[in-house]
C-alpha cells in the first residue's frame, strides 16, 4: 500500500489579480478574483490525490464557515480527512494573495495563534501501510511527533521549509528530505551559491537537501551528490503553491519506490504545469496528469 500522510496547514485562499498601477493607488481594483483551498500540507495532499495517490491530511481547522469550506474542498479532491482535527474555539486559516501582471505575488496568511498545539491524537495514529510523511512548519509540535514515529518505522519524512530560524533545527534534523524555498535556504546558510548552501545545510541538519527555484527549476544534494534541473517551460500565470505540489509529488514517487532522480523530475514537471493556472488546485484539469506521474 502506498499511502502518504500530509500534516500541517490548510487555508482558504483569496487571489486578487491586479496591475502595478492599481497597487500604487489608495484603492485598488482587481482584474480577476478566485477562491480555492491552499496551505502547504493541504496543497501537497491535493496534488497527490489528483495524481492518483492515496493520501490522508491531518491538520487543525476551526469549526467555522471557512473551516467547512476547507474540509469540503479537500474531500472533493479525494483527500482522506478522517484524522483531521476540528476545534470549536479557533479560527480557520485564511490567505489573501495579490497577484500582479508579472506573475509575482504577495501572500498574507492568518493562522490563529489560539489554535491548540496538543499532539495526543498523533501518538496512536495508525502508520501501517504509510510509505511517506510530509509536513510543513505551521504545527511544529505535531510534525515532530509524527516524524519521530515515522523514522522509528523506517518511513521517509519530507519537510517543506518556507522560512528559517534556529528554533526549527530539531525538526529539520528529523527530515530525510528538506525541501527549501530559496529565501529559507539563504536565511539558513547566508550563501547565494546553491551548491555551497546545500552543503552547509547538510552539515547542520543531515539528510538530503533540495531547493526549489521557481522558473529556474531546482537543485539538490542527495547522498552527497549535487545536481540541478531546469524547470519545464510553461505559460506561467501563477506559481502559488508550486513548491507545495513539488514536495507532494516527490514524496508520492519516492514512497512507492521510484529512483530519486526520476522522482524529482516528475515532481518538477508537475509543479511547473501547475503554474499555468491561477491557484494551486487545477492539476485535475490536466487531461494526462496521472499518466505523467506513472
pLDDT at 1 over 60: no
205-264, pLDDT tens digit by residue?
Answer: 999 999 999 889 999 999 989 999 999 898 888 888 899 999 999 999 999 999 999 999
Instruction: Give pLDDT, residue 281.
Output: 87
Q: Which three cell numbers stand for residue 204?
A: 547542520
Instruction: Give pLDDT, residue 51.
Output: 94
What letter does residue 231 receive in the DSSP assignment? Answer: P
Closest CA to 68 of 45, 88, 39, 49: 88
pLDDT at 23 over 70: no
- Backbone angles phi and psi of 51, in degrees to 5: -95, 10
Instruction: Give pLDDT, residue 98.
Output: 86
Least-confidence region, from 24-38, 86-100, 120-134, 225-239: 24-38
235-246, pLDDT tens digit by residue?
Answer: 888 888 899 999
Tell me how far CA of residue 62 lies from CA of 1, 92, 271, in angstroms. Answer: 31, 4, 29
132-186, pLDDT tens digit by residue?
Answer: 999 999 999 999 999 999 999 999 999 999 999 999 999 999 999 999 999 999 9
Mean pLDDT estimate for the chain = 92
The residue that leads in pLDDT, 138 or 287, is: 138
**pLDDT, average across residues 20-27:** 64
Instruction: Give pLDDT, residue 21.
Output: 65
How far apart CA 6 and CA 127 sit, in angstroms, is: 12
Instruction: Give pLDDT, residue 287.
Output: 84
Instruction: Give pLDDT, residue 243.
Output: 94
- 248 forms bridges with which residues in the sheet? none
- Percentage, residues of the chain above pLDDT 90: 74
- Could you give the angle at the alpha carbon of 73 between the alpha carbons of 264 and 249, nearest 5°? 5
**Buried/exposed code over 110-134 (b: 16+ C-beta within 10 A; e: otherwise):** ebbeebeeeeeebeebeeeebbbbb
Instruction: Give pLDDT, residue 284.
Output: 86
pLDDT at 24 over 70: no
How far apart CA 282 and CA 290 sit, in angstroms, is: 13
**pLDDT, average across residues 77-81:** 96
The whole model's pTM is what? 0.93
Domains, the chain, with CATH or none: 3-116+128-293 (3.40.1190.20)
Amino acid at each position: 500500500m502506498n499511502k502518504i500522510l500530509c500534516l500541517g496547514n490548510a487555508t482558504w485562499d483569496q487571489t486578487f489579480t491586479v496591475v502595478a498601477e492599481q497597487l500604487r493607488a489608495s484603492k485598488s481594483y482587481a482584474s480577476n478574483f478566485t477562491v480555492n483551498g491552499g496551505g502547504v500540507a493541504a496543497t501537497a495532499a491535493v496534488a497527490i490525490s489528483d495524481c492518483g495517490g492515496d493520501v490522508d491530511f491531518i491538520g487543525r481547522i476551526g469549526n467555522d464557515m471557512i473551516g467547512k469550506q476547507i474540509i469540503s474542498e479537500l474531500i472533493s479532491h479525494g483527500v482522506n480527512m478522517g484524522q483531521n482535527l476540528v476545534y470549536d474555539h479557533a479560527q480557520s486559516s485564511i490567505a489573501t494573495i495579490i497577484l500582479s501582471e508579472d506573475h509575482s505575488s504577495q501572500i498574507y496568511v492568518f493562522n490563529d495563534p489560539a489554535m491548540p498545539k496538543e499532539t495526543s491524537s498523533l501518538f496512536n495514529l495508525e502508520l501501517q501501510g504509510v510509505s511517506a510523511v510530509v509536513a510543513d512548519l505551521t504545527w511544529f509540535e505535531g510534525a515532530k511527533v509524527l516524524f519521530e514515529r515515522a523514522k522509528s518505522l523506517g518511513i521517509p519524512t519530507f519537510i517543506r521549509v518556507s522560512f528559517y530560524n534556529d528554533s526549527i533545527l530539531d525538526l529539520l534534523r528529523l527530515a530525510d528530505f528538506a525541501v527549501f524555498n530559496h529565501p529559507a535556504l539563504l536565511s539558513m546558510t547566508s550563501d547565494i551559491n546553491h551548491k555551497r548552501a546545500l552543503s552547509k545545510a547538510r552539515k547542520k541538519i543531515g539528510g538530503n537537501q533540495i531547493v526549489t527555484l521557481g522558473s529556474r527549476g531546482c537543485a539538490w544534494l542527495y547522498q552527497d551528490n549535487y545536481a540541478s534541473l531546469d524547470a519545464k517551460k510553461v505559460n506561467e500565470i501563477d506559481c502559488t503553491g508550486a513548491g507545495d505540489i513539488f514536495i507532494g509529488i516527490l514524496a508520492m514517487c519516492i514512497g512507492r519506490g521510484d529512483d530519486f532522480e526520476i522522482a524529482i523530475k516528475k515532481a518538477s514537471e508537475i509543479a511547473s504545469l501547475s503554474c499555468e493556472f491561477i491557484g494551486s488546485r487545477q492539476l485535475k484539469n490536466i487531461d494526462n496528469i496521472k499518466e505523467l506521474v506513472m
